[in-house]
Amino acid sequence: NTNVGTTVVPSTELTATDQDGDLLFYALSGLSPDTERVFSLAGVNFPALQLAQPLDYEKQPSMEYLLLARDTATPEERPSHTATATLTIHVVPADMRPPWFLPCAFTDGRICIHAQYRGAVPTKQVLSSPLTFEPGPVYAVDGDAAINEAITYSIIQGNTDDIFLIGKDTGNITMAKAIPEPKTFTLLVQAQQQVHTGSYSVTQVSIQAVAGQLYPPRFPQALYRGWLAPGTGANVAVRDAEDPDRELRLRAEDDDFPAGVPNSGLQYRITNSSAFRMSGETVLTNDTVGPPQVLYLEAEVFDTLTSERATTTVEVLIQDTKPSPPGPTSSAPSKTTQGSGAQTSPTSGSTPTRPTQDSLRPPSPG
Ligand SMILES: *[C@@H]1O[C@H](CO)[C@@H](O)[C@H](O)[C@H]1NC(C)=O
Ligand SMILES: *[C@@H]1O[C@H](CO)[C@@H](O)[C@H](O)[C@H]1NC(C)=O
């Protein structure tokens, strides 16, 4: 944000002394070619350090220069004496970007298009847990990753009859009361930086209230494959073995609800392991995971609307290397069975197809 031409270090701080009282000549050289011309001196006899090119915190968070002082106009003159000093300039990130709702889609590595969220709830019920949304929980981060200010969430429009509540710090949306009739709510949700409160973003969260109660929930896959590195700590989401950049998601389908919109009335849990739990549709560790092995868990979905349940199996590969996505030609990854009980994978003959998910990804960290 600093304007080109600004004096960054005054000459008084960069002046050399000379016991003969000679007029001193200064030269600045960048220690790396791409930062060579970012700063310059105000004059050959006046070593004030000025900004000569716009700063880019992401590309050059710090720069080094060599400042040379000489008591002759040219190095050829004799006698000529020199002294040098190293300058290190640290760039302080400016608050330039508003919060981004994730997962956001980068257009050019700098501008990220916000996520909008869709969810559905049954009518005549107050769900006790936070609502689930497509493409993921309502969540925003400071667009200036280097500042990463905390975010405050609020619903600024569309919350007819104050049906919904939003967690100020989490963004989790819960229900305060039941919705009597089928209807769609379009909430405008704001994410505001806690310090630079002028930096905020608004996105849309649409929530459909649906009156069906005919269909039980079902998992579209008999087996979900996840991955974690050995020694992963507690409260970490199991990654999707087919796309390790993403969290594994178990999404049961419910024909009472529109396709592609998660039914927030579905509650998920892991039935037979205390080492894992579910948070919404993701599987989290409760504890540090052990050495390389393959674990099998049973996940259950409970439909609060119909009081029906369905189960599926989650395979968790604990291994160092990221599993490679199964390409059309590659053979299926071998399913080693290990540990007690010699479990075998319950994959059926036909490969279940994954429901298509969003093509958006969160920005890669850093
Ligand atoms: C609630 O918020 C936390 C923090 O943002 C998030 O990790 C979690 O997934 C949210 N839960 C749901 C069900 O959306
Ligand atoms: C949990 O259930 C899954 C699926 O039925 C099964 O494969 C696995 O062996 C069970 N794990 C334990 C620890 O009982």
Longest dimension (CA), the chain: 98
pLDDT at 129 over 70: yes
The answer to whether domain 99-210 and domain 215-324 are alike in fold is: yes
Are 323 and 336 in contact by the 8 Å Cβ rule? The answer is no
Residue 245 makes CB contacts below 8 A (sequence gap 6+) with 239, 361
Specify the range with the lowest mean pLDDT, choosing from 53-62, 146-155, 219-228: 53-62
Residue 161 Rama label (left phi>0; alpha psi -120 to 50; beta):
left
Cα of 88 vs centre of ligand 1, distance in Å, is 41
- Identify any residues that bridge with 26 across adjacent strands, giving them in sequence order: 69
> pLDDT tens across 12-31, in order?
999 999 998 889 999 999 88
**CATH fold of 7-90:** Immunoglobulin-like (2.60.40)
The predicted model scores a pTM of 0.67
The pLDDT assigned to 350 comes to 36
Q: Is the CB of 338 under 6 A from ligand 2?
A: no
- Protein residue closest via CA to atom 2 of ligand 1: 170
pLDDT given at position 299: 97
Q: Where are the domains of the chain?
A: 7-90, 99-210, 215-324
Q: How high is the pLDDT of residue 86?
A: 95
Question: Which residues have C-beta within 8 Å of that of residue 291, sequence separation ≥ 6?
Answer: 230, 318
For ligand 1, the distance from its centroid to the CA atom of residue 137, given in whole angstroms, is 6
Per residue in 332-348, pLDDT (tens digit) is 444 333 333 333 333 33
Say which residues have a Cβ less than 8 Å from residue 351's Cβ, sequence separation at least 6: none
Protein residue closest via CA to atom 12 of ligand 2: 272
Nearest Cα to 122, choosing from 251, 212, 206?
A: 212
319 CA to centre of ligand 2 in angstroms:
19
Q: What is the pLDDT of residue 326?
A: 62
Query: 136 or 366: which carries more pLDDT confidence?
Result: 136
The 10s digit of each residue's pLDDT in 225-275 is 999 999 999 999 999 999 998 999 999 998 888 888 888 888 899 999 999
Q: What is the pLDDT of residue 338?
A: 37
pLDDT value of position 334: 41
For the cut 70, the answer to whether the pLDDT of residue 162 exceeds it is yes
The reply to whether CATH 3.30.750.24 applies to domain 215-324 is no
Q: What is the rounded distance in angstroms from the CA atom of residue 256 to the CA atom of residue 173?
A: 22
Q: What would the mean pLDDT of 349-365 be, rounded to a whole number?
A: 36
As a whole number, the mean pLDDT across the chain is 86
Atom of ligand 1 nearest to the CA of 280: 13
Residues 145-160 have a mean pLDDT of: 94
Substitution candidate for ligand 1 out of 128, 132, 170 with most atoms within 8 A of CB: 170
What pLDDT score does 181 carry?
94
Taking residues 308-328, report their average pLDDT.
86
- 212 C-beta neighbours (distance < 10 Å), count: 16
Cβ 103 vs Cβ 358: under 8 Å = yes
CATH of domain 99-210: 2.60.40.60
- Pocket probe for ligand 2: among 273, 296, 311, the residue whose CB has the most ligand atoms within 8 Å is 296
Q: What is the mean pLDDT of residues 113-131?
A: 90
